[in-house]
A = this chain, B = another copy of it.
Amino acid sequence: MKPALTAPEVRPIAQNSREEILRAAAACFMERGYSASSIDDVARRLGATKGRIYHHYPSKADLFFDVYRMGMDLNFSAVGDVYHSDLGPYDKFFGMCRAHVMMMIEEQAFQRTVWEGVNLHLNSATTPDQRVVLERLLKMRAEYDQLFRTVMEACKADGSLNYKNQSIAVSTLFAAMGGPVFWYKPRQGETATQLENIVDQVVRFAMRGLGASERTAA
């Protein structure tokens, strides 16, 4: 917030503490869902107490929002490079999907929280300013979708993809790619190659589903 001319070593510590809280919260939200997770649960996982959490976040909802935001930031940073590259439409789209699915697996906890935030709109009892934050997050999600929509349309235009309704195609695409968030269970001593194998098959399913030809989808 402030110009941060103050001690350049204090802030990182606080940032680390916040990120620890975020990860613990994401883990709890993944296991039992948002409303079934108590602040004490998150604190217990940290070996701490409520005080620590409420020092950094004014409310449980705000903590949730920050987990959500963190998840979306991860998504944008994962997909951004490929999106801003000068690849052709299909290769770009393919790379974005790969990055997306990989992120679903690597940051499963955060992505699960994002998921819960999206479809469980979190209508319930939020203060007006929390409502502002929430809508900004949903807008963030919409912008992320838009990245894929844009490239998808380019692919449809050049014939590398083939589908009818854009909205249905995008929704089904994200549903398929988001699957690992729920069914993937990290396995002991899993190699990077094995992970990429999973990602490949999910992306392959998605590409073929959108009408990519057999050769390009493989």
| Contact surface of A with B, Cβ cutoff 8 Å | 31-36, 116, 119-120, 123-124, 163-165, 168-169, 171-176, 178-180, 182-183, 198, 201-202, 205-206, 208-211
Residue pairs across A and B with Cβ atoms less than 8 A apart, 25 shown, are A32-B35, A32-B123, A33-B33, A33-B34, A33-B116, A33-B120, A35-B35, A35-B36, A36-B124, A119-B182, A119-B183, A163-B201, A165-B201, A168-B198, A168-B201, A169-B205, A171-B183, A172-B176, A172-B202, A173-B205, A174-B179, A175-B176, A175-B182, A176-B179, A176-B209
Max chain B C-beta neighbours (<10 A), residue from A169, A175, A179, A182: A175
Closest to A170 in B: B183
Q: How far is the CA of A171 from the CA of B208 in the complex (A)?
A: 16
Known pairs A175-B176, A175-B179, A176-B176; A163 contacts B205 (CB<8 A): yes
- Report the minimum CB–CB distance from A104 to chain B (whole Å): 11
Instruction: Pick from B34, B36, B179: contact of A171, CB below 8 A.
Output: B179
Main secondary structure of the interface of A (DSSP, over half): helix
Q: Which chain B residues border A165 with CB–CB below 8 Å?
A: 201
A172-B124 contact, Cβ under 8 Å, with A35-B33, A36-B35, A182-B119:
no
Q: Given A33-B34, A35-B36, list of 11 further CB < 8 A pairs? A: A32-B124, A33-B116, A164-B201, A165-B201, A168-B201, A171-B179, A172-B202, A175-B176, A175-B178, A176-B176, A205-B210
Residues of B within 8 A of A173 (CB): 205
- A208's partner among B116, B174, B183, B209 (CB-CB below 8 A) is B209
Instruction: Please measure, in the bound complex, the distance between the C-alpha atom of A34 and the C-alpha atom of B159, giving whole angstroms.
Output: 44
Residues of B within 8 A of A179 (CB): 171-172, 174-176
Task: Enumerate chain B residues within 8 angstroms of A120, measured Cβ to Cβ.
Answer: 32-33, 36
B208–A211 touching, CB < 8 Å: yes
In whole angstroms, how far apart are the Cα atoms of A65 and B31 in the complex?
19
Contacts of A31 in B (CB 8 A): 123
